[in-house]
Amino acid sequence: GANYPIVIVGAGPIESELREQAQNLGLKNVHFLGALPDEDKSALLTLSYGIVFPSHLRSEAFGISLLEGAMYRKPMISSEIGTGTTFINVNDQTGLVIPPSDPSALR
């Protein structure tokens, strides 16, 4: 069990729920940055180990964060939801593509 830093970028309707969950689980390696200007996002992408696109809903038809990760040649993890994300993250080529709503696939 490596203890990598988990950085969550962006703000949205479940941010407070995620913060509370991280606190309740005692996760000291999870950092919430909120929305970032492009310059800061670029620096963060340069330093990151990889990109996780957690959406499992078809309403997220094209993951901009995946495209940003691909621009920086970062390995990616995403769900197979049959949308534009499939063309950005190709399983076993640019990263890992898992079935939607199946956290056990990450093990």
Q: Please check whether residue 90 lies inside any domain of the structure.
A: yes
Q: Please check whether residue 91 lies inside any domain of the structure.
A: yes
In angstroms, the CA 44 to CA 31 distance is 12
In angstroms, the CA 96 to CA 78 distance is 7
Range of the domain at 56: 52-101
In angstroms, the CA 69 to CA 46 distance is 9
Q: Please check whether residue 69 lies inside any domain of the structure.
A: yes
Q: Please check whether residue 62 lies inside any domain of the structure.
A: yes
Q: Please check whether residue 15 lies inside any domain of the structure.
A: no
Q: In this predicted structure, what is the pLDDT of residue 31?
A: 97
Total number of domains constituting the chain: 1
Q: Please check whether residue 88 lies inside any domain of the structure.
A: yes
Q: What is the pLDDT along the chain (107 residues), one digit of tens a residue?
A: 678 899 999 888 989 999 999 999 999 999 999 999 999 999 999 999 999 988 877 776 667 889 999 999 999 999 998 888 888 999 999 999 999 888 888 87
Alpha-carbon dihedral angle through residues 97, 4, 10, 80, given to the nearest 10 degrees: 10
